Structure 1
Amino acid sequence: MTEGVEESHLVFDRVAEEYDAARPHYPEGLYVALQDLSGVRLAGARVVDVGAGTGISTRGMLDRGARVLAVDRAARMLSVLRARTSCGVLLSDGNELPFRDGVADLVTYAQSWHWLDPTLSVAEAVRVLRRGGAVAGWWNTVDAGRADWLAAYHVRLAESCDGYVGPALPGWSMPPIAEAMGDAGLDVAETWVGWTRTVLLDDFLTDLRSHSYVARLDTGEAGELVARERAELAKVFADGRLTVPMRVYLATGRTR
Structure 2
Amino acid sequence: MTAVPSHSTRAHSFNAAAAQYAANRPSYPPALLDAVEELAGRPLAGARVVDIGAGTGIATALLHARGAEVVAVEPGEGMAAEFRKAHPGIPIVRGDGNSIPLADSSVDLITSAQAWHWTDPARSVPEALRVLRPGGALALWWNTNVLDVPWAAAQALRAEKFFGIDPVVERSGTGSRAADPDGVLDFTQRLVRWSRRVPVDTHLANIGSHSVFLVHGEEASAAFLAEERTHLLKAFPDGIVEETYDVDLLVALKP
The TM-score normalised by the length of structure 1 is: 0.91
Q: 1:134 to 1:154 in 2, by over 3 A?
A: same
What is the match of residue 52 of structure 1? 54
- Asked whether the equivalents of residues 181 and 188 of structure 1 are also in contact (C-alpha less than 8 Å), the reply is no
| Residues matched between the structures, number | 250
- Asked whether the equivalents of residues 40 and 134 of structure 1 are also in contact (C-alpha less than 8 Å), the reply is no
What is the match of residue 220 of structure 2? 221
What is the match of residue 199 of structure 1? 198
What is the match of residue 103 of structure 2? 100
What is the match of residue 133 of structure 2? 130
Q: 1:73 aligns with which of 71, 75, 86?
A: 75
- Asked whether the equivalents of residues 178 and 190 of structure 1 are also in contact (C-alpha less than 8 Å), the reply is no
RMSD: 2.0
The 1-side partners of 2:128 and 2:140 are apart by 11
Q: Give the match's secondary structure for 1:15.
A: helix
Post-superposition, which runs of at least 4 consecutive aligned residues in structure 1 deviate over 6 A?
A: none
What is the match of residue 151 of structure 2? 149
Q: Give the match's secondary structure for 1:151.
A: helix
Letter in 1 for 2:92: V
The percentage of aligned residue pairs carrying the same residue is 38
The 2-side partners of 1:171 and 1:64 are apart by 32
- Determine whether 1:139 maps to 2:138: no
- Asked whether the equivalents of residues 118 and 177 of structure 1 are also in contact (C-alpha less than 8 Å), the reply is no
Letter in 2 for 1:89: I
The 2-side partners of 1:170 and 1:13 are apart by 23
Q: 1:42 aligns with which of 44, 53, 73?
A: 44
Shift of 1:65: 0.4
- Determine whether 1:14 maps to 2:16: yes
Letter in 2 for 1:109: S
Q: 1:40 to 1:122 in 2, by over 3 A?
A: farther
Shift of 1:131: 1.2
| 5+ long unaligned stretches in structure 2 | none
Shift of 1:225: 1.2
Cα distance per residue 1:55-105 (max 9 Å; x no partner): 000001011000111111111101111111121111112201122101110
- Asked whether the equivalents of residues 146 and 245 of structure 2 are also in contact (C-alpha less than 8 Å), the reply is yes
| 5+ long unaligned stretches in structure 1 | none
What is the match of residue 117 of structure 1? 120
The 1-side partners of 2:98 and 2:195 are apart by 33
What is the match of residue 64 of structure 1? 66
Q: 2:6 aligns with which of 4, 27, 36?
A: 4
The 1-side partners of 2:179 and 2:26 are apart by 26
Which shows bigger deviation, 7-16 or 152-161? 7-16
Letter in 1 for 2:138: V
Letter in 1 for 2:199: L
- Asked whether the equivalents of residues 9 and 215 of structure 2 are also in contact (C-alpha less than 8 Å), the reply is no
What is the match of residue 243 of structure 1? 242
- Determine whether 1:24 maps to 2:26: yes
The 1-side partners of 2:173 and 2:86 are apart by 30
- Asked whether the equivalents of residues 15 and 209 of structure 1 are also in contact (C-alpha less than 8 Å), the reply is no
Q: Give the match's secondary structure for 1:144.
A: coil
Cα distance per residue 1:204-251 (max 9 Å; x no partner): 000011100001122211111111111111111111101122110101
The TM-score normalised by the length of structure 2 is: 0.91
